[in-house]
Structure 1
């Protein structure tokens, strides 16, 4: 595959003037670690300079004339390998994960405490029961990934297989869990996988892949993965890689611009699988006002949902609809603003400062009390706006819009196809709204305070079972008594 000097120059130009000492970012080519500093870049969020090896495009693809390394290995052996990998990823015993954490702190705005919690939770994604549930629920019959399964439809014999795919995964960097989930799910497909590293998580995926190589560099699963960084939108790389002669599907995580960019490459033979950008909400029933103690507990649960990776995740609550009048809503807002100033496992009590555009919008709302009321401040400890209608800006950086409603059904009317997760209090009242929420396009309903979960182990993700969607479903229908005409 041709890789011109033009590609290298265009990939290099964004970071030539980086003022910070560049971090070395290794690549992994089919299980083999490659180091180098040929290309300079700058990370998106914190402006940290980093350097990568020169991209070798030929090493990022697997020839279609050959089966992938894991195509014919029994999935039970893949599960055994992943289960062995889990304990090896524990932060206390893995120097690669330790080094990845230290480097991640320089490119991710999440900070050391949240990042360390993420890294300590990554091994849980490789527990046997999690992996087996993920495969069983996604495929229904795990035999489908190992070979051709006999079936009969309307008296006609045929065979079905979930055939190993060839996938590009464009990872998001708002949580290290994305890389770990991707490796686990991808390995179970038995396919071949190219991971495009995001500039705000350059190290988690490669640390996991390099740990796999330490266990067994020749293992088929190890050799089924490559990981590399290139600047998103570099057509000299993407126009060559994103072709059906190399890959079946592009799996993209990220914002609207990232998804729309990749859509231009989708077409016959190259399918797009998108984990789209989403917004999440909360529905809180009148039961929250049963006592002051219960109200504080509900506010803490509401804050936990807001603070999913400092409100930078799709499952982070941004709008909360509470069953009551304005006075009730104000009581809740007071407690919510206080709760947002506390630390949670994946959220900081002291977060980033509120952006200037939101400050300017909220300053205008302050002048319109009592129609609007504002609680908290712009200092990163939490900002809550109570309003009769949803505000017309996008709440970020620990900003929450609380809207009083007459009933949870009224709150549910604000859900759309862009709504991912809905946290509900009390949990039993989900039965009042779940059908309406599903009709609106909602993909997930949880008890308030439980929006942050691993999202694996048999649960759907963004309205699909990812492994099922990743596979190439192939039917063979040449029955033994069928005449060919």
Structure 2
């Protein structure tokens, strides 16, 4: 770090208290921007197991009311914590400020009373188990009580979407967890801004006292060998790339589990019906570009590969239209990041390989489409779509695996024909083309019901019922 290089401050939040210090400097992953944090007080980051979680006996209805009020406070344009967060994040994140701002505010739609109740009801057959010991009795007359007990969770947050912080805090509160959030280097701000907003409502609320947010460099053994232990935490809820997940796995063992939202790739399937008319072609191209540009292609649900059931001439017509729309959407967002050097070299090489590949656009960050007969062997990102020509959509299934998250399909009426085969291959979600971003409230995420997996399921057995 040079003497003139600016430093962005990133405070911590530990069990209800703000910690402001700039004794440790780091660099953000993507842009290399310097930010400064306090040193981690590991004792304060851990809630002793000798103390029951602060939220354990707080009614779920009260928790939801508090989350709803938090959403209202986040959306308040006078909220200084959120405005400061967006300003600082704009210096460390690859996405433009306007996109980040929209992400933060858009994420607050999750903090809706009806939505939160729906999420709980979909995750738990009997939501009362979150609030009390639910009595049960089997057919032999043996009685027991079961509770979805408040867990101790470490959340390893991703850097691509600040909105995940809002959702993760809400989910941690809904299951009444003790939560330690490990923030990402590209966004060591959003989580603390939300928790400061909560503290502004009630600094002594059990939700506030259940939350901590810190940053350390992933893989730092001095921190992780201390924290990643079953005597302190039950589970790691990990988002992120392959390296982040691989780093967590080595600490797993009896009593210390992983709930992983691991790296995913999403795709699109466009049938021959898209070429039945000019209007159909225009519609399919718009829907495909919409899925490519979810969070400017930074989200896992954003399409990378578009499989098109067409001959080469029709595939090229489709590519031209998709490229035009990606360029329009990128320009509207203000995102003009050029492709990184490795990706630029890969694309430039393909452009020189003749008819087998064709490229629309340049590697200048304005939008790019590559047409091929097989998927390219690199990861399309930063407004880059690979359109793969196939003779039949049946051929797409061989390219699907457990890392395939969302599959957008056109025409919509062909979705039932493929959902069983896609699920068998490992895919986790099929949607109408153009609807990769929104999702049905309470549905599984990455092939699981997350809240159901977060909790510590505890049974109290009380013998055979008399009489």
Distance change in 2, residues 1:25/1:356 (3 Å)? closer
**Residue 302 of structure 1 is aligned with which of 288, 292, 302?**
288
Q: Which moved more, 1:414-423 or 1:91-100?
A: 91-100
Inter-partner Cα distance in structure 2 for 1:360 and 1:21:
32
Runs of 4+ in 1 over 4 A off after TM superposition: 16-19
Q: 1:76 maps to what in 2?
A: 61
Q: CA deviation at 1:424?
A: 0.8
**Contact 1:18 1:41 (8 Å CA) reproduced:** no
Q: CA deviation at 1:356?
A: 2.9
**Contact 1:160 1:473 (8 Å CA) reproduced:** yes
Distance change in 2, residues 1:17/1:144 (3 Å)? farther
Q: CA deviation at 1:451?
A: 1.1
Distance change in 2, residues 1:17/1:476 (3 Å)? farther
TM-score between both structures, scaled by the size of structure 2: 0.96
1:310 aligned counterpart, secondary structure? helix
**Residue 198 of structure 1 is aligned with which of 146, 161, 184?**
184
**Contact 1:409 1:432 (8 Å CA) reproduced:** no
Inter-partner Cα distance in structure 1 for 2:178 and 2:199:
16
Distance change in 2, residues 1:323/1:190 (3 Å)? same
Matched, 1:461 2:455: no
Superposition pairs of residues 47-446 of structure 1, within 5 angstroms: 47-155=32-140, 156-343=142-329, 348=333, 350-446=335-431
Gaps of 5+ in 1: 1-15
2:289 aligned counterpart, secondary structure? helix
1:357 aligned counterpart, secondary structure? helix
Q: CA deviation at 1:229?
A: 1.0
1:183 aligned counterpart, secondary structure? helix
Q: 1:473 maps to what in 2?
A: 457
Gaps of 5+ in 2: none
1:313 aligned counterpart, secondary structure? coil
**Contact 2:54 2:210 (8 Å CA) reproduced:** yes
**Contact 2:330 2:366 (8 Å CA) reproduced:** no
Distance change in 2, residues 1:279/1:187 (3 Å)? same
Which string of whole-angstrom CA distances, capped at 9 and with x for unpartnered residues, describes residues 307-331 of structure 1? Answer: 1222222111111111111111111
Residues paired across the two proteins, number: 466
Q: CA deviation at 1:303?
A: 1.2
Q: CA deviation at 1:423?
A: 0.7
TM-score between both structures, scaled by the size of structure 1: 0.92
1:46 aligned counterpart, secondary structure? coil
**Contact 1:91 1:120 (8 Å CA) reproduced:** no
Q: Which moved more, 1:455-464 or 1:78-87?
A: 455-464
CA RMSD between the two structures? 1.9
Inter-partner Cα distance in structure 2 for 1:394 and 1:275:
18
Q: CA deviation at 1:17?
A: 5.3
Q: CA deviation at 1:349?
A: 6.5
Q: CA deviation at 1:366?
A: 2.7
Inter-partner Cα distance in structure 1 for 2:188 and 2:341:
29
Distance change in 2, residues 1:349/1:446 (3 Å)? farther
2:75 aligned counterpart, secondary structure? coil
**Contact 1:341 1:349 (8 Å CA) reproduced:** no
